[in-house]
Structure 1
């Protein structure tokens, strides 16, 4: 049975200059603010992610089944496939990709294997340990878009805790990213900068926007 594996990270300061300049056009801001449905927002996300990260030879695609990552080939860019066209699934998969280093990005599913729903208490503990950083980053992404974030324990039929400790850890990790105690992965920081330019008039994320009680 495959077990969860910790991912190596590409890191940078939350406040450092991105490797690739951000040049969001005014129309991007207007387009996002005028979107009315999740389907429209998903289309916007796909279009803009693929533009922002074209220099890394990766594309975001909508999937009809479970999420999956396909590394680049000689004639095709890497693909981040998110589940069933769900916006939050896209953010979650982008967060995992942003943490993975160059070596993991050459592996199917980023070399990230896990035991599915129905995990034992021990397996669930490992799942939560590995998911703290991706879900903290996903919370940052969601807030940049003005969307609600919910933690995922992904173990409805298994054993484990009520999630309180996991929520505490996700909240603490977000605060470490925001106060600079822990560096944010390079591409996560760049993605947040691009999104904030289009949705928040370049206003950076602030620690007061991330309260522990928001996860309950």
Structure 2
């Protein structure tokens, strides 16, 4: 199945623009969230290079951010670029567990393989298996207790577009040796 970032832009716009005045925008090297200001009348989720994966990741951060954080550039979070030391990487992963769990659900709804990301190629990647397990545990918690409202709304939008049965179940999120979802879920019947 071809995955086009332009589909995500349309799906996001149709799902959220009217209510949240927010658009998904293809950007350059670095992703960025910009709240509306005097130069732009709407909020912008800018994803890197037109990458489908980057778009889903940035949407997941937006779905997790509360109302006050959505008024701050990059939701008010610090970001230390690639090359983080062990302590910086540990702090980075702490704030990435929930967004990457949401992103994994987006990928499952789109019938697409997901890989957790330490996003630190030139630095200390920490205990990547432990990070993957934490992301997996968070996905299972969301399945049991419910996803944040906007995340659930986008899961439903993606599932409709990619013809995936809902609700998502734990069986769609196996944790293999690499901590990724390698199961092709396109043939799973969800009851």
- 1:42-191 pair list within 5 angstroms: 42-54=5-17, 55-73=19-37, 76-180=41-145, 183-191=146-154
**Unmatched 5+ residue regions in structure 2?**
181-191
Alpha-carbon contact 1:68-1:81 (below 8 Å) kept: yes
- Secondary structure (helix, strand or coil) at the match of 2:46 reads strand
- Secondary structure (helix, strand or coil) at the match of 2:45 reads strand
Report the count of equivalent residues: 177
Shift, 1:202, TM fit: 4.8
Shift, 1:124, TM fit: 0.9
Shift, 1:154, TM fit: 1.1
| Structure with higher RCO (Cα < 8 A, 6+ apart) | 1
Deviates more, 1:195-204 or 1:74-83: 195-204
- Counterparts of 2:109 and 2:2, CA distance in 1: 17
Shift, 1:191, TM fit: 0.7
Shift, 1:160, TM fit: 4.3
Which residue of structure 1 aligns with residue 169 of structure 2?
206
Which residue of structure 2 aligns with residue 19 of structure 1?
none
Taking a change above 3 Å as real, the CA distance of residues 185 and 125 of structure 1, as seen in their structure-2 partners, is same
Shift, 1:203, TM fit: 2.5
TM-score by length of 2: 0.87
Shift, 1:201, TM fit: 5.4
Which residue of structure 1 aligns with residue 186 of structure 2?
none
- Secondary structure (helix, strand or coil) at the match of 2:166 reads coil
Alpha-carbon contact 2:32-2:46 (below 8 Å) kept: yes
Which residue of structure 2 aligns with residue 31 of structure 1?
none
- Counterparts of 1:49 and 1:148, CA distance in 2: 20
Alpha-carbon contact 1:80-1:94 (below 8 Å) kept: yes
**Unmatched 5+ residue regions in structure 1?**
1-35
- Counterparts of 1:201 and 1:87, CA distance in 2: 18
- Counterparts of 2:81 and 2:23, CA distance in 1: 26
State the Cα RMSD in Å.
Answer: 1.6
- Secondary structure (helix, strand or coil) at the match of 1:84 reads coil
TM-score by length of 1: 0.77
- Counterparts of 1:100 and 1:162, CA distance in 2: 26
